[in-house]
């Protein structure tokens, strides 16, 4: 029995013969083809073509080779986008060409062109190119704007480098042959006809076409070099090479709609011949302002995951889980730290997050994994240098998004995204960047140059994978780079991004500086400073001219008359042994009634740094000193930091003092603020003070301590230190019983060679009683100052607040602790501190577990922030969560923090011993924000400096063995805290030597890895090791091939051990 399609074709056959025998007025072959398409998208073109055909029959030719194209410009944008460029721009079907060849020849030529186009489409589909992509649109939606359902089955459904199998049988036209194939393809089909060929005859066009075929056959598409693919524009975006990030998973038909609507696509589509946009155009500032007011848009600071650079987040305004931005396309050229405006995507595109709080797995695999010898070298897959644009294209982003985001088969929507789904999963909001408010990232990055043959530019590969690759013109590279690129393979450069076009995955930039060899401390350090915009230049003459000229400087007599003279009192400093900027000192004198007069004395920097001069400007810009392992980048010139303001021993110095009358139990009876003059009697280090605390009855000899003022004997200083320690213990006990929290995390320190400044030793910094003594009185002074300036200037006070931890992360951590049987109370800061410090024991295992818990509890904590009290209306937001006090500020370090200098000016004005304030609320808030930014940068630079030195230390002194405790378990790796050095590392199972296999499984919601170690000899059975959170293991830190990098390798357990 004939099929309906066969019957339909038989019915059409007489009509076909009739058309050949009779001339008028039948439709030509191209019109019959268009008539087969049921989509409304071709209706507009049909009407235009009918007009042109009428012109042809009447002998009136259009004024242009293809009038439809010219008149198409007058069509509204939305309707014009519905006309497929692949047909409308082909000159082979123009009315003029059809007339010149006659009906029979035109039909023959049309069939040949149709065959060529069909073969071209087949070829492109095999390369992963859909029709919609060739028309300048993304085929990544399940439903189009007009409601038409579109197939998305080919997205990610095939293995890399394999031809696609069509899921749908294409409709055959009544005129098309059953098998239209061609061994060669014409890449020029579908392109606009050039003017010089518009009027050629059919034979001439055939010759030209054959010539092009021969030329193209010499360089087939699949034989392009990687460098050509790197910058091949649309071709690169349309190809689908194997992903460098791992094997692609076969996907179901996408249920979610695109992150970009058809309206977005039409808005971004450029003129014909231009590259297809990779990124969406930014909204205008007016659109952003209106969207924020209406609540359609959100603003926040972008954070990009340094381990998974495709993942980015902004804080959620409702204290819920952070909003997720999936991939570089969603980030829309924003970099880490930028303040951005985002639009929340439809719920269908929200990310599914498992409620398992122990950590996201690397894959969903639960099967047993066998460790092959080839995999034992490394399990990490860093971003390769040869990655091409198409590997980061929006098509690939959607594929990865569909791999990582699984929606329910029922398609049901959850009213509350935080409500657990039936399988314990919740939805996380996703968004895309539509505007960059402030580019806080410096756009300067360290990295390496790679030579690209036959290209006018080199590729700059940043060390930080969160930054895109950058094209640098060869003229900007070293002179001999092209002839000797290998000489620069390990040379570290600084590159600044100058532009990032919307149609490219790569930015453009220029080389700012050649740093030196990667892996050396000084080039690495300089790169860090430049990348984070730390100003380490010398101070200008204009700045230095603001300092006193006559040296050595002495306090003017008129200034002495304005201050309280404390030079006769026993006042001393306690600082690190290497400190040079001594900005705080202490005093403690016992009174006849048994109480104490206790003073905190802070260097009066505001006396030397006047408002609105060049010195003040550079200090406000730097905002903080930056402390690195081997040096300090000062906020102020060294003449101030180390001489004029530093409270050096046996030298008269100007100070701001807070003096209390206090009981031995720590109860404050009275308080005084004022400007003073002191003369420190000795410079003690923390080690000196600790030795006094540890030996309260010892009589110290003069040679055991630094030089001291003869008017204050050593035993007087010793007694003052002991009194301070006693009061500090009572104050500390009161603070923590009142609800304060302190999380002491392990911190690595180094001993350096005095000449080379290279690391000679490495140890975990010990926080001892002498540190606690100084901390306690600095806190007391800061709290007192905060209350004082706020009472005098309720709209101008610069304070420091600490928001409570993120509720969602705390809830997840609480759930994890409950699963592990650990009783941790997260209800308040005080409850958390008590849980971490009571009834945990003091054995080795319990101590290590406390360190891991402390690190885990630090993750939900937010950063403390400077702010102006007039900028926040709700006084409840002033509170400092960790200290559990309503008001707090920074007053005690004006040499190294600009915020403290502002507080000093406020304090002086409130006491009528300084100039009247000229600051507004807006100015104080702006400076507060600047201080917050630079404080964050300073902290990060300090961490990176430690990483550099530790990487050098491992390379020079390693391998290093240490005990470690497991902090989290994934399905192919686990994270550990290395207890001897205080560093966190990830151990990859496939990198472990001697491991036969491993398997990941769950015990309830607790992840575990079971490792099977190969038997050392045939007489022994394989060793089984269970890895779960809080498991103690032995690891070895070993340098990698890359500069400054090292790995943590799991050591084989003893055969008789059972690590659980």
Q: Which residues are annotated as a binding site for Mg(2+)?
A: 575, 584
Annotated binding site: 575, 584
List residues bridging with 142 in a β-sheet. none
> Could you tell me how many residues make up the chain?
1060
- For CA atoms 979, 980, 984, 989, the dihedral sign is negative
Angle value at C-alpha 862, between 857 and 863, nearest 5 degrees: 125
The pair of three-digit structure tokens given for residue 555, joined into one six-digit string: 């306090």
Q: Give the separation between CA 481 and CA 938, rounded to whole angstroms.
A: 35
**In angstroms, how far is CA 916 from the centroid of its own chain?**
43
Going by C-beta distance under 8 Å and a sequence separation of 6 or more, which residues neighbour residue 1014?
994, 995, 996, 1022
Q: Please choose, from the candidates 332, 338, 350, the residue with its C-alpha nearest in 3D space to the C-alpha of residue 401.
A: 350
Going by C-beta distance under 8 Å and a sequence separation of 6 or more, which residues neighbour residue 719?
none
Going by C-beta distance under 8 Å and a sequence separation of 6 or more, which residues neighbour residue 731?
666, 776, 777, 780
DSSP tag of 685: E
Contact 922, 857 (CB under 8 A): no
- Three-state DSSP class for 509? strand
Q: Give the separation between CA 950 and CA 933, rounded to whole angstroms.
A: 26
Contact 675, 654 (CB under 8 A): yes
The pair of three-digit structure tokens given for residue 897, joined into one six-digit string: 């923090």
Q: Where are the beta strands (DSSP E) in 470-609?
A: 470-473, 491-499, 507-517, 564-565, 571-575, 584-590, 596-603
Helix H or strand E encompassing 268: helix 262-268
Q: Give the separation between CA 1048 and CA 984, rounded to whole angstroms.
A: 9
Residue 430, Cβ density class (10 Å: 0-12 exposed, 13-18 middle, ≥19 buried): buried
Cis preceding linkage at 959, omega within 30: yes
Q: Where are the beta strands (DSSP E) in 538-611?
A: 564-565, 571-575, 584-590, 596-603
Q: Where are the beta strands (DSSP E) in 628-747?
A: 632-633, 652-662, 668-679, 683-685
Contact 138, 260 (CB under 8 A): yes
Q: Give the separation between CA 798 and CA 868, rounded to whole angstroms.
A: 5
Neighbours of 254 (CB within 10 A): 24
Q: Give the separation between CA 695 and CA 688, rounded to whole angstroms.
A: 11
Q: Give the separation between CA 123 and CA 131, rounded to whole angstroms.
A: 11
Angle value at C-alpha 935, between 933 and 938, nearest 5 degrees: 110
List residues bridging with 1023 in a β-sheet. 1013
Q: Give the separation between CA 265 and CA 278, rounded to whole angstroms.
A: 10
Burial string for 130-160 (b: 16+ CB within 10 Å, else e) reads bebbbbbbbbbbeebeeeeeeebbbbbbbee
DSSP string, 630-652: S-EE-SS-HIIIIIISS--TTSE
Contact 357, 815 (CB under 8 A): yes
- For CA atoms 51, 52, 58, 63, the dihedral sign is positive
Q: Give the separation between CA 644 and CA 638, rounded to whole angstroms.
A: 9
519: region left, alpha or beta (phi > 0 left; psi from -120 to 50 alpha)? left
DSSP strand pairing (865-868 vs 798-801) = antiparallel
């Amino acid at each position: 029995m004939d099929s309906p399609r066969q019957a339909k074709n038989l019915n059409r056959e007489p009509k076909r013969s009739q058309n050949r025998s009779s001339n008028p007025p039948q439709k030509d072959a191209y019109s019959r083809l268009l008539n087969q398409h049921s989509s409304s998208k071709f209706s507009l073109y049909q009407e235009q073509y009918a007009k042109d055909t009428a012109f042809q029959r009447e002998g009136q030719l259009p004024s242009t080779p293809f009038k439809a194209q010219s008149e198409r410009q007058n069509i509204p944008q939305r309707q014009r986008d519905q006309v497929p460029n692949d047909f409308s721009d082909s000159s082979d079907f123009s009315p003029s060409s059809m007339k010149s060849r006659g009906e029979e020849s035109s039909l023959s030529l049309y069939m040949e062109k149709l065959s060529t186009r069909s073969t071209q489409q087949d070829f492109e589909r095999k390369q992963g190119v859909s029709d919609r992509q060739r028309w300048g649109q993304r085929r990544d939606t399940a439903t189009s704007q007009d409601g038409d359902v579109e197939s998305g089955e080919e997205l990610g459904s095939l293995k890399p480098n394999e031809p696609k199998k069509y899921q749908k049988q294409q409709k055959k036209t009544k005129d098309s042959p059953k098998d239209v194939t061609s061994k060669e393809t014409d890449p020029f089909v579908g392109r606009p006809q050039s003017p010089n060929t518009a009027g050629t005859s059919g034979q001439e066009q055939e010759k030209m076409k054959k010539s092009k075929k021969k030329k193209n056959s010499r360089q087939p598409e699949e034989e392009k070099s990687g460098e050509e693919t790197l910058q091949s524009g649309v071709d690169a975006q349309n190809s689908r090479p194997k992903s460098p990030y791992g094997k692609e998973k076969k996907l179901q038909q996408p249920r979610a709609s695109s992150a970009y609507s058809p309206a977005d696509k039409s808005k971004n589509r450029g003129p014909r011949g231009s590259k297809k946009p990779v990124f969406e155009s930014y909204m205008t500032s007016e659109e952003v302002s209106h969207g924020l007011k209406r609540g359609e848009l959100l603003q926040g600071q972008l954070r990009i995951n340094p381990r998974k650079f495709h993942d980015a987040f902004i804080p959620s305004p409702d204290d819920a889980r952070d909003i997720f931005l999936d991939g570089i396309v969603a980030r829309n050229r924003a970099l880490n730290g930028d303040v951005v405006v985002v639009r929340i995507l439809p719920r269908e595109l929200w990310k599914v997050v498992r409620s398992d709080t122990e950590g996201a797995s690397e894959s969903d695999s639960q099967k047993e994994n066998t460790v092959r010898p080839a995999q034992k070298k490394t399990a990490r897959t860093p971003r390769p240098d040869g990655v091409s644009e198409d590997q980061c294209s929006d098509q690939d982003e959607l594929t990865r998004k569909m791999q990582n985001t699984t929606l329910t088969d029922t398609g049901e929507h959850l009213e509350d995204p935080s409500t657990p789904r039936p399988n314990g999963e919740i939805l996380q909001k996703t968004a895309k960047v539509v505007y960059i408010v402030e580019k806080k990232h410096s756009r300067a990055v360290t990295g390496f140059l790679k030579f690209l043959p036959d290209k006018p530019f080199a590729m700059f590969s940043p060390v930080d994978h969160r930054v895109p690759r950058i094209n640098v013109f060869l003229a900007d590279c070293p002179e001999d780079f092209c002839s000797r690129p290998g000489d620069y393979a390990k040379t570290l450069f600084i590159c600044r991004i100058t532009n990032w076009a919307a149609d490219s995955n790569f930015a453009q930039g220029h080389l700012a500086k050649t740093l030196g060899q990667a892996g050396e401390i000084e080039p690495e350090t300089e790169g860090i400073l430049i990348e984070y915009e730390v100003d380490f230049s010398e101070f200008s003459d204009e700045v230095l001219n603001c300092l006193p000229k006559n040296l050595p400087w002495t306090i003017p007599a008129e200034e002495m008359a304005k201050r309280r003279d404390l030079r006769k009192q026993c006042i001393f400093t306690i600082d690190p042994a290497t400190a040079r900027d001594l900005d705080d000192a202490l005093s403690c004198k016992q009174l006849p009634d048994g109480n104490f007069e206790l003073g905190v004395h802070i260097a009066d920097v505001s006396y030397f740094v006047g408002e609105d001069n060049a010195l003040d400007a550079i200090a406000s810009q730097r905002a903080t000193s930056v402390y690195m392992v081997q040096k300090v980048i000062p906020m102020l010139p060294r003449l101030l930091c180390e001489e004029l303001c530093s409270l050096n021993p046996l030298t008269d110095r100007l100070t701001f003092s807070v003096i209390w009358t206090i009981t031995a139990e720590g109860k404050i009876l009275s308080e005084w603020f004022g400007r003073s003059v002191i003369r420190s009697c000795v410079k003690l280090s923390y080690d000196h003070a600790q030795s006094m605390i540890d030996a309260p009855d010892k009589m110290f000899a003069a040679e055991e301590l630094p030089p001291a003022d003869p008017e204050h004997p050593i035993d007087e200083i010793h007694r003052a230190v002991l009194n301070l320690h006693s009061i500090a213990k009572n104050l500390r006990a009161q603070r923590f019983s009142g609800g304060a929290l302190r999380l002491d995390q392990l911190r690595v320190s180094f001993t350096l060679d005095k000449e080379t400044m290279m690391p000679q030793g490495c140890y975990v910094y010990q926080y001892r009683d002498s540190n606690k003594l100084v901390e306690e009185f600095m806190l007391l002074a800061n709290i007192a100052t905060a209350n004082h300036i706020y009472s005098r200037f309720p709209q101008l006070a610069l304070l420091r607040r600490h928001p409570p931890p993120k509720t969602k992360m705390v809830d997840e951590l609480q759930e994890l602790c409950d699963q592990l049987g650990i009783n941790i109370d997260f209800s308040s800061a005080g409850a958390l501190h008590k849980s971490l410090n009571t009834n945990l024991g003091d054995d080795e295992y319990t101590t290590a577990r406390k360190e891991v818990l402390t690190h885990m509890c630090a993750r939900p904590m937010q950063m403390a922030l400077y702010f102006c009290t007039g900028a926040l209306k709700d006084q409840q937001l002033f509170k400092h969560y960790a200290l559990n006090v309503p008001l707090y500020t920074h007053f005690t370090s004006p040499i190294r923090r600009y915020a403290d200098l502002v507080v000093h000016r406020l304090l002086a004005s409130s006491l009528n011993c300084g100039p009247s304030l000229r600051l507004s609320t807006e100015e104080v808030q702006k400076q507060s924000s600047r201080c917050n930014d630079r404080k964050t940068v300073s902290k990060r630079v300090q961490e990176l400096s430690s990483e550099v030195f530790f990487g050098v230390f491992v390379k020079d002194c390693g391998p290093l063995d240490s005990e470690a405790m497991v902090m989290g378990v994934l399905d192919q790796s686990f994270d550990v805290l290395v207890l001897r050095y205080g560093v966190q590392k990830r151990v990859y199972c496939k990198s472990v030597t001697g491991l036969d296999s491993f398997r990941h499984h769950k015990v309830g919601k607790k992840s575990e890895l079971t490792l099977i170690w190969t038997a050392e000899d045939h007489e022994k059975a394989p060793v089984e090791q269970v890895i779960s959170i809080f498991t103690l293991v032995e690891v070895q830190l070993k340098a990698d091939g890359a500069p400054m990098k090292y790995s943590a390798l799991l050591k084989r357990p003893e055969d008789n051990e059972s690590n659980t």
